[in-house]
Structures are given as C-alpha cells and as structure tokens.
Structure 1
Amino acid sequence: MTAYAVANLRNVNVGPDIVEYLARIDTTLAPFGGRFIIHGGPKTVLEGDWTGDLIVIAFPDRFSAEAWYASPAYRAILPLRTKNSYGDTMIVDGVDADHKATDVLG
C-alpha cells in the first residue's frame, strides 16, 4: 500500500543550505520510488490557522518510506533542512481506492 512522507514546514530560511537541500533531495528519493505529490504552493485555508508549507512525498509502501528517511543519503542532507526551518513530519499509510470513511471504525 502506498505510504506518504508528510511535512508541514514553517519559517523556512531559503538560503544556501535550503537551496542545496532542494538540489539534492530528488536523488535520495529515486532509489526508494519516492516522488513529490505536493510541494508547497498556493493554498486556500478553509478552517483553522494553517501556517507553513505542506509537502507530501509518495512511496510504494511504508518500508520504502522509512528506508528513505533512514538512508545515509537523506540523513546527510537532513540537517540542511532542520537547521533552517521548523516543522512536523511523519510517515502515514494511504488507503485503498474503495476506502469508505466508516472503515476507520473497525
């Protein structure tokens, strides 16, 4: 099942470190089948106070997503982002195409 690396990044200091991070991240994703689904961009906030930029990266499965995050190639560039932004990140499983809202009730 598809899994997603999701981040809500705030206060990003777009300087040389972030530019380098962006230049290098795609090569860290490729071996794990990762691809950007959402990478910031314009948004319309419908409820609440959404700050920051949403980033969603799709992977073929949770194993691939977790292996990417733990990979030496990604760990080498991670400080370029974490030292220049604040945010929350997670890996979450997707759902099947026939998923219904009530499926979460068990």
Structure 2
Amino acid sequence: ARRPGPRASRGATREARADDAPPVDTLQEEMRLIARARRSLASSPAAALDAAEEHRRRFPGGLFAEEREALAVLSLARLGRQAEAERRGQRFLRSHPAGTFSERVRRAIGGAE
C-alpha cells in the first residue's frame, strides 16, 4: 500500500478540512430557517413546513438536515397529512433510527417502525 508523503499530504488534508466548513453566513441562514420552523410548529405547522422545505431546497446536505426532516414530519402530521408524514417519517427513521428526534417522529407517525 502507498503511504502519503510525510508533511505535504498532511498539510493539504488539514487545509481541505478547513475549507469543508460552511461559511458563517450560510450557517446563520441555516440556523434562522430551522429556528423559524421550530417556532412555527405549534401555532402554524404550514409555516413550519414551509421553512423546513426552504431549508431542504437551499441546504440539502446542511448541518441541520436531521432536525429539518424531523420538523417536516411533525409539521405534516399536525397538518393531517398522515400518509406523507408516515412516508417521510419512515425514511427519516431508516436514516436516523436512534437519533435525537427519532422518538418524536415515531410518535408523530403513530408509532410505526
């Protein structure tokens, strides 16, 4: 097996990792959308779903993707769109079976696993 060169490769790896971090303004915008979805969930699940969908479009692989998907499932369930909530919830649970939001998602879709 080939081994990377002594110092040059390691330095390049460190630089690549630093470049992988999202810009601060992008992170702030992600946080703003997720916060809007959280705040809206109880009083306006449609607004929460809109915020989650905007986040999905703008930041498909964003740092808050797991929470976004959970908020979308919870919003769909509160809107009475149970079939959609269940489909999306099942997909969420396959990806995050023991994640932070998994139990809430399970409850929202009727405990189906």
Scaled by the length of structure 2, what TM-score is found? 0.29
Higher RCO (CA < 8 A, seq sep 6+) = 1
- Please identify the structure whose Cα radius of gyration is greater: 2
Structure holding more helix per residue: 2
Scaled by the length of structure 1, what TM-score is found? 0.31
